[in-house]
Amino acid sequence: MQVIGCGGRVRVPEIFSWEDGPLRLNLPDSLLRFSSSCARTLVVPKSVVGKIEVRHPTDVAMVRRLGELFRGWEYAGLSPKGNQRLEVYRQFDGKWYVAVIQMGCRDLGVNVLVTFHQVYARKVRSRVCGGNLKSRQ
């Protein structure tokens, strides 16, 4: 067992049975300010990776670069759909990607990746103009 999450108050397994362990990472402080949760660990369910393989096969290789996306995010903000979901956007090679995170799952003490895929630039512009996203600057 490894102690992670909110000030070490939550004990979770080294790897959940449903988790893609090599993709686990800690979110940077710059993203934690968007949530009231104190959990900093992000876990990626195997089912989410499977969904990306089926629905967004061209994005599979990019999933392995999640750490880069979070360290160099360009826009982020809470989802207008609610539910304490954080949307994080970054460009790679001229293409925009979004990672959506369920922040601070109380029963787990971690953040969980909900989806990851490529998006059109117009969606990013729409979210920024609508006030949903904040620039890293």
pLDDT tens-digit map of 59-84: 999 999 999 999 999 999 998 887 78
Question: What is the domain extent for residue 129?
Answer: 2-135
| Kind of pairing between the strands at 134-135 and 75-78 | antiparallel
Note the Cα 111 to chain centre separation in Å: 8
Total number of domains in the chain: 1
Closest CA to 133 of 101, 86, 65, 91: 86
Asked if pLDDT for residue 37 goes beyond 90, the answer is no
Strands 75-78 and 85-92: antiparallel
At 4 the pLDDT is 47
Who has greater pLDDT, 50 or 39? 50
Closest CA to 73 of 34, 24, 122: 34
User: Average pLDDT in the 49-56 region?
Assistant: 94
